[in-house]
Amino acid sequence: MQMKIGFPGNRKVAAAFDGFTVLTDQPVEAGGDGSAPAPFDLFLASIGTCAGIFVLSFCRKRDIPTAGLELIQTADWDEIQHKVTKITLEIRLPKDFPEKYKDSLINAAALCTVKKHLQDPPAFEITTRSA
């Protein structure tokens, strides 16, 4: 997959791919306009939404109603290292969710592709090319 990363103004950075444009910005206190999520916020959101699609798919395959189903993601931040040290995903279940599927639902959420990439990260290569 290829993405084109551009700079539409001030502290905004945009990623264009597959007919979509994802805009990011920095918070006002970091010199941005606060007009879009910061890149790191999108990174964190990608974890929760990735786990979420696995949870949703699990329920739909078993005709389990999803009204009231949600995931709450919490990130523990280390101020000294300036990084997240733990991410917790809490799956909040509807009132009548079948007990027999709870562990399987956790396993489904753990299949998240984003999480798998964090556990076994890709190699990075950064190069330059003159215009």
Q: What is the pLDDT of residues 70-98, one digit of tens each?
A: 999 999 999 999 999 999 999 999 999 99
12: its two tokens = 């905004």
Domain covering 39-119 in this structure, CATH number = 3.30.300.20
Look-up of token digits 């639902």: 105
Distance in Å from the first CA to the final CA of the chain: 22
pTM: 0.91
Q: Binning pLDDT at 50, 70 and 90, where does residue 2 land?
A: very high
Burial class (CB in 10 A: 0-12, 13-18, 19+), 63: exposed
Query: To the nearest whole number, what is the mean pLDDT of the chain?
Result: 97
Domain extents in the chain:
1-36, 39-119
Q: Binning pLDDT at 50, 70 and 90, where does residue 63 land?
A: very high
Question: Which regions of 3-111 does DSSP assign to beta strands (E)?
Answer: 4-9, 12-17, 20-24, 70-78, 83-92
